[in-house]
A and B are shown apart, each in its own frame.
Chain A
Amino acid sequence: MTSKTLNRQFLTALILAVSFIGFAKEPAIEGEEGKEKFDPKEMILHHVKDAYGMHIATFNAGKENELHLTIPLPVIVYTDKGLTTFSSSAFHHDYHGHEIVERNGQRFVNVHEKVYVLDPGALEVAYDEEGHPINAHRPKFDISITRNVFMMWVSISVLFLIFLTAARRYNKSDNYVPSGVASFVEPLILFVRDEIARPMIGEHKYKRYMPYLLTIFFFIWINNIFGLIPILNGANLSGNIAFTFTLAVLTFIITTVSGNKNYWKHIFWMPGVPVPMKIFLMPIEIIGMFVKPISLMIRLFANITAGHVIILALMSLIFVFKTVAIAPVSVAFSLFITVIEVIVTAIQAYIFTILSALYFGMATEEEHH
């Protein structure tokens, strides 16, 4: 091993180790907010869920000159009194319903990263036994730009930047030799074409599905990667069930629309089996039609969320045992899990894309005798 690669490896390790400060800092903040006991479950759930602002770090926690480093994001809610917008910084990083924001003659509170409208006359939130507010209700529509939405826009911009730059390179050069960004994305695009689309869908029809497959592959991958960057507070976009639900629904719609006669015949009247079996198989195949996108949805959601939960749980071990002695163990284990997660980001994007391609292939398969 040359000294150059050694140097590079050392630097990589250093950067990874430093980036963990982002994770390690968080529990300390949680402890300061009026609660004596550190609750790892609440901390983890708060991290995995969506939020109204992007909280990056807190300096001098609990002291006079406490400084929160955040990116405030707009809260947009539609209530009985019409559209109301305000900045998430109005809540002053409170998500326990203490800070009351008055806008448009209504009082808003943030209870566990959900905006509630207080009933007229109510001055503070009251809870029932399960911790649900009783004198406040959710607005009719909540179309706030939350941190997940914000991160989605960031990842879309990054994707546009990468791919438009790459496309421009091909326009410029006459000999189509990839260079710069193009030399990075070309092998990936060829991988999606030759390893995913062609074998799964077939030589004649794969071209129609290439734009969709490429889009979901890169979109899921880049969002998985962004979820692992601690300084972005782990905006857990691909571990959000609504996000994976939308992608799975898109796959379901494309599969159903492009289904040919042969595909529907296999669902409603399975060829090549006796009639009682045909009747028996029909409901199973119809359920199977819906289980496929549901399993796509759950797989991506659960894999990415589980990764975040494991890393955060290992980190909160330090604060559960209240000793620094456990820190090396927990940092080492989180580093190990994070490295695995980096591989998982690519594998999950690959699995989602290849299974979508497989379903498209099943939908467009011709009858063979």
Chain B
Amino acid sequence: MTITGIAAIGAGLAAIGAGMGIGRIGGSAMEAMARQPEMHGKIQSSALILAAFVEAVALFGVVVAFLQG
């Protein structure tokens, strides 16, 4: 397997990790919003910020894969 192939697998693994993380954030945020609709705005903005943090780690992986690939 070439280094490009390994880089592609790395990018895929990063996507899986980010997907799980953002999925959990999104699911919990939806649940919280359903329980307390009056907190909708606050929950949404914190969910977006948290998603950005999770995504950043995945993007580090993707950028490394880019550089390698």
Contacts and interface: CB of A to CB of B under 8 A. Distances in A.
Contacts of A303: 55, 59
B48 A298 contact: no
A252 interface: no
Interface stretch (A8-16, A151-159, A347-355): A347-355
Contacts of B56: 295, 298-299
Interface string A336-355: 00000000000100110011
Contacts of B63: 298, 301-302
Contact of B49 (A295, A302, A306, A354): A354
Nearest to B52: A351
Determine chain B's interface SS by DSSP, over half rule: helix
Contacts of A306: 62
Nearest to A301: B63
B62 A302 contact: yes
A299 B49 contact: no
B49 A355 contact: yes
A299 B48 contact: no
Contacts of A351: 48-49, 52
Contacts of B60: 295, 298
Contact of B48 (A301, A302, A350): A350
A350 B46 CA distance: 12
Nearest to B57: A295
A301 B63 CA distance: 10
B8 to A, nearest CB: 13
A198 to B, nearest CB: 12
The 6 A-B pairs of least Cβ separation, nearest first, read A302-B59, A295-B56, A351-B52, A299-B56, A298-B59, A302-B63
